[in-house]
Amino acid sequence: EAFVKVEIFKHRDQLLEQFNKRLASLAPSTKVIDPEVFSEEAKKIKKDFQNSFESKIKSFKLEDEDKQIQDFMKSINEKLEARGQANMAEVEAANMKLFATPFVGSGLFFMTGHPYVDAILLAGFGYVQAERHAKSMARAMGNEVPFYDPRVLQTLAVDGRRFAEQRVRDVQAMGVAAQRCT
């Protein structure tokens, strides 16, 4: 009986790992997809993995076979639901961004309108962020950290990368939202 339980958990873990890879390829956290497409693909994935797990577990002729299948499907459903909700939240937020972007963008264009003004604003924003990170690091380390310290600049680079990644997701979500409007 111990051998059977070990084999079941091994199969379960292997299938969950395969599921995570398939979910990551279908809907990576860095990409926004149409919720209807996600829902259809999620149903297919769910059915495929349920069939795979059932076929592997049937050979053991367990008493608690249904409970094992329910537990397996519960973990798959939780992951699919979490990813689906995160994707839907991005799409719903994109509806507002889709409406506001032309107004905010044109306002910023007229407000700055010149590359020198843009460069000065960007440098000022970078300086303020660097000072904020330097103060945070100084509190954590207990000594003074200048804003031009390499660790502070590295943190700024990470912030910049995250900002850019979020803007890419925003554009993807606005594309999905625009397609859903028509």
Name the nearest CA neighbour of 133 among 161, 154, 117: 154
| Whole-model pTM over 0.85 | no
Average of per-residue pLDDT values in the chain: 90
Burial per residue of 92-128, b for 16 or more beta-carbon CB atoms within 10 angstroms, e otherwise: ebbbeebeeeeeeeeeeeeeeeeeeeeeeeeeeeeee
> Six-digit token pair at 151?
């660790």
Q: What pLDDT, in 10s, does the model give residues 9-49?
A: 898 999 999 999 999 999 998 899 999 999 999 999 999 99
pLDDT band at 70 (very low <50, low <70, confident <90, very high): very high
Q: What pLDDT, in 10s, does the model give residues 111-148?
A: 787 888 888 988 999 999 999 999 999 999 888 999 99
Q: What is the pLDDT of residue 1?
A: 67
